[in-house]
A and B are shown apart, each in its own frame.
Chain A
Amino acid sequence: MAMEQQVNRQYDAVIVGAGPTGSLVAAKLAAAGLSVVVLESGDRFKGHNALENTEANAGKIMWHEPRKHVGGDFVIPKTGVGVGGGTLSWLGVMPRFHQADFCTYSTEGVGADWPISYDDLRPHYETVEREFGVAGESGPFAPEPYTLPMPAHRMNWHAQVLARGAKKLGAQPFAPPIAINSVARDQRPACIYCGWCASGCPTGAKATAANTYLPKAERLGVRVISGAFVRRVNYDAAKGRACGVTWIDDLRKEHRVDAKVVILAAHAVETPRLLLLSANPTFPEGLANSSGLVGKNFMSHPTWQVFGTFDHPINAYKGMQMGHVMVQDYYQPKPTNGFARGYILVSYMMTPVTYGLLSGESYGQDFKDFLYDYQHTAAWWAHAEGLPSENNTVTLDPELLDSHHLPVARVTYKWGDNDVKVAAAGRDKAAEMMEASGAAKVRIGLNYGAHAMGSCRMGIDPQASVVNEFCQSHDVSNLFICDTSVFVTGTGVNPTLTAMAIADRAAEYLVAAGKRGDFQ
């Protein structure tokens, strides 16, 4: 798409990434009267046919430029691309973090403590749940009882079968918080349980940035430019501030946007990559990287897929792909476990290609038999907490270039001992539950890292963190990072709600700072 000639090149704020956090911040800043532009490298998908039901949509809505993965362990960061970002392909599960998740070092001697607490995020959790639209129950292990704006979805048959086994083992399965309408709300319909969530919801029942915060932002005057790959954050050394970004359009032409505030929301692989690409004489190791921690402490969730095949049809494709049922009984740390932290189990059954991909590394007749068991197969996803390590990093690859001739992200990842143990415990518990549900055959599927976090962690000490508690760079006061890069630990639960709550808090701070004149 060719760039329009008349573009306002001076804004109060430029935001890189039109995913859930970037879109939320855009809407909040615009509501406060700021001029905002959002630059998104992917396309804008309009209408039902743009993302009709096909798993080939992964080629449109998931990061498709090369990356280099080294280190030995398999991580799927699932970076979204397109207006809506990761929410185009996400599955919507949105539990809150627990109080102890913010202080793992103090409570268990592992990981690190966050500079914020659950109490700091509580009002922002409530705001996001209400504005984004979340259905479900807070559950028996919630950090505190809370009510969601929509009632829980009924469990599909698949979840009922899984829950049967969980209850037999004494667990308390529940319908977790999920950002998919259980009733018509906010001009979007209720879910019809078609089971195509990951390919782009065809009805709009699933909340995405593109059908919630972004339309609101655009009505408030935010300009969203798609097909805009940001290649550099520009830095004015004389003023000691970021001054905007340089981006490339689909025709490979460069543009510059100047802004008083620069906000990065490109996810935990591309955000640190952009900072590293923005190295300059003041910051030779990467913009805002005096700590040396940009790209370090990259975290993922160690997970296992566990499949159970039954003698009767399950037809797990009927329903939401993930999150009709969750078990958090094993998320509470116990000294007798033999590992720190814990795991959750969540229902996760997929359309056929993903079913094949997540089945592991079987091949030949065994694999084909598994594929033909599709109709009779149920699936738990065992999802554990991976601890931060400075050895797990995002850097610039020395050889591989992307289509813009820029060094790609090199993701180095190796599970630690605790990661392996806690994930294995989750896998084994899921297998046990599957047998308790009555599965005739249990198969262990793929072991992989899910989600991406921590690569620009927040903290109080500028030598030990990249941003402060409001996501503001310690080094560059008008540069903010509002995505999962800022996480200090990964917890064992899905990250998006907390990322959005942190972004909401940062937006509040930004608005107040702007009114004080901090960014003139």
Chain B
Amino acid sequence: MIHETPVTLQDITTLSALASGIIPADDRDAGATGVHAGASIAARMRTSPYADVYLDGLKAASEMSKSNFGIDVDALDTTQLHQLVAILREQVPEFFRQLRADVCVYYLSDPGVWQRIGFPGPSTDDGGYSDFDQPQ
């Protein structure tokens, strides 16, 4: 169901935190945060076909964070966040899967990420790969 209510700051901060739990920052890059995955998901969440999945999932995440750690999702440290995501994967699987999928889309569509993981992007204009069958 589409929800006409506007995105809230809480949506953004919670989703940004959860997204960084899916793909964290490390010495290679800033992870999901670096591509603003959480904010992007939050901006489209309420009008997407998965609006109900997200709203129910965010409610569950907030409740589980408070009951397990006594604080909101966006206040969790890295270890606590990792534990919360494990709980969500177990108990709210549809939300976990959708969140993981959407974070993947944002992170792995970024040209900077492509460069770092060794994917050169489209090659049609260069004629594809004539060395496709050679040792790499």
Taking Cβ atoms with an 8 Å cutoff, the residues of A that contact B are 52-56, 64-66, 74, 154-157, 160, 191-196, 202-203, 312-315, 317-319, 351-353, 355-357, 361, 363-365, 367-368, 371-372, 374-375
> Quick one: which of B114, B118, B133 contacts A157, CB cutoff 8 A?
B133
Q: Give A415 Cβ to nearest chain B Cβ, in Å.
A: 16
Among listed B6-14, B23-31, B69-77, interface-contacting one: B23-31
Docked-complex contact A364 and B82, CB < 8 angstroms: yes
Known: A55-B108, A160-B133, A196-B122. 13 other contacts (CB 8 A): A74-B97, A155-B133, A191-B128, A192-B127, A313-B118, A318-B132, A353-B104, A356-B107, A363-B23, A364-B82, A365-B26, A368-B26, A375-B118
Residue of A nearest to B89 (CB): A361
Interface residues in B56-115 (C-beta closer than 8 Å to A) = 82, 85, 89, 96-97, 100-101, 104-105, 107-109, 113-114
B5 at the interface (CB under 8 A from A): no
Query: In the assembly, what is the distance between CA of A317 and CA of B119, in Å?
Result: 8
Residue of A nearest to B117 (CB): A374
Query: In the assembly, what is the distance between CA of A372 and CA of B29, in Å?
Result: 11
Interface residues in B22-70 (C-beta closer than 8 Å to A) = 22-24, 26, 28, 31, 49
Query: In the assembly, what is the distance between CA of A361 and CA of B92, in Å?
Result: 13
Q: Give B18 Cβ to nearest chain A Cβ, in Å.
A: 10
Task: Please report whether the interface of chain A is mostly helix, strand, loop or mixed according to DSSP.
Answer: loop
Q: Which residues does chain B contribute within 8 Å of A191, judged by CB atoms? A: 128
Docked-complex contact A371 and B124, CB < 8 angstroms: no
Taking Cβ atoms with an 8 Å cutoff, the residues of B that contact A are 21-24, 26, 28, 31, 49, 82, 85, 89, 96-97, 100-101, 104-105, 107-109, 113-114, 116-124, 127-129, 131-136
Q: Give B98 Cβ to nearest chain A Cβ, in Å.
A: 11
Residue of A nearest to B100 (CB): A363
Q: Give A174 Cβ to nearest chain B Cβ, in Å.
A: 15
Query: In the assembly, what is the distance between CA of A156 and CA of B129, in Å?
Result: 10
Pairs across A and B, CB under 8 Å, 20 listed: A55-B109, A56-B109, A65-B49, A157-B134, A192-B128, A194-B123, A195-B123, A202-B122, A202-B124, A312-B136, A315-B136, A318-B131, A318-B136, A319-B132, A363-B89, A364-B24, A368-B23, A368-B28, A371-B107, A372-B28
Q: Which residues does chain B contribute within 8 Å of A356, judged by CB atoms? A: 104, 107-108
Q: Give B27 Cβ to nearest chain A Cβ, in Å.
A: 11
> Quick one: which of B31, B49, B104, B129 contacts A193, CB cutoff 8 A?
B129
Docked-complex contact B133 and A352, CB < 8 angstroms: no
Sorted nearest first, the 6 A-B pairs with minimum C-beta distance are A192-B128, A375-B118, A53-B122, A356-B104, A318-B129, A193-B132
Query: In the assembly, what is the distance between CA of A365 and CA of B23, in Å?
Result: 7
Query: In the assembly, what is the distance between CA of A355 and CA of B28, in Å?
Result: 19
A193-B129, A194-B123 known; A365 vs B117 contact (CB < 8 Å):
no
Q: Which residues does chain B contribute within 8 Å of A193, judged by CB atoms? A: 128-129, 132
> Quick one: which of B24, B100, B129, B134 contacts A194, CB cutoff 8 A?
B129
Docked-complex contact A154 and B23, CB < 8 angstroms: no
Q: Which residues does chain A contribute within 8 Å of B118, judged by CB atoms? A: 313, 315, 374-375
Docked-complex contact B49 and A156, CB < 8 angstroms: no
Q: Give B1 Cβ to nearest chain A Cβ, in Å.
A: 8
Query: In the assembly, what is the distance between CA of A121 and CA of B89, in Å?
Result: 46
Q: Give A460 Cβ to nearest chain B Cβ, in Å.
A: 40
Docked-complex contact B124 and A194, CB < 8 angstroms: yes
Docked-complex contact B23 and A353, CB < 8 angstroms: no
A364-B85, A372-B28, A375-B119 known; A352 vs B114 contact (CB < 8 Å):
yes
Docked-complex contact B133 and A156, CB < 8 angstroms: yes
Q: Which residues does chain A contribute within 8 Å of B96, judged by CB atoms? A: 361
Docked-complex contact A353 and B124, CB < 8 angstroms: no
Docked-complex contact A372 and B117, CB < 8 angstroms: yes
Residue of A nearest to B114 (CB): A352
Query: In the assembly, what is the distance between CA of A156 and CA of B97, in Å?
Result: 32
Q: Which residues does chain A contribute within 8 Å of B85, judged by CB atoms? A: 363-364
Query: In the assembly, what is the distance between CA of A65 and CA of B105, in Å?
Result: 19
Q: Which residues does chain A contribute within 8 Å of B105, judged by CB atoms? A: 55-56, 353
Docked-complex contact B114 and A314, CB < 8 angstroms: no
Query: In the assembly, what is the distance between CA of A155 and CA of B132, in Å?
Result: 8
Q: Which residues does chain B contribute within 8 Å of A351, judged by CB atoms? A: 119
Query: In the assembly, what is the distance between CA of A154 and CA of B131, in Å?
Result: 11
Residue of B nearest to A74 (CB): B97
